[in-house]
Amino acid sequence: MSTPFDAPQQSGSTRTRLNSVPADGGGGGGGGGGTNVDTQRLDEAANALVELRGDTENVDNGADDDCLSASRGLNKHTAGGMAEAGSWATAGSLVTMDVRWGSQVLNLKSLLQEISDKLHTTSGHYTSTEQEEQARQHSISTPFG
Q: Is the backbone of residue 28 left (phi > 0), alpha (psi -120 to 50) or beta? A: left
- Can you give the pLDDT at residue 69? 87
Spatial distance between the Cα atoms of 107 and 111, rounded to a whole number of angstroms: 6
pLDDT above 70 covers what percent of the chain?
Answer: 68
Spatial distance between the Cα atoms of 121 and 42, rounded to a whole number of angstroms: 10
Average confidence (pLDDT) over 74-85: 58
The tens digit of pLDDT for each residue in 114-144 reads: 999 999 999 999 999 989 998 988 888 777 7
Contact between residue 79 and residue 142 where contact means Cβ atoms under 8 Å apart: no
Is residue 81's pLDDT more than 80? no
Task: Please give the residue that has the higher pLDDT: either 50 or 91.
Answer: 50
The tens digit of pLDDT for each residue in 6-28 reads: 544 444 444 444 455 555 555 55
Average confidence (pLDDT) over 50-78: 85
- Can you give the pLDDT at residue 15? 46
Mean pLDDT of the chain: 76
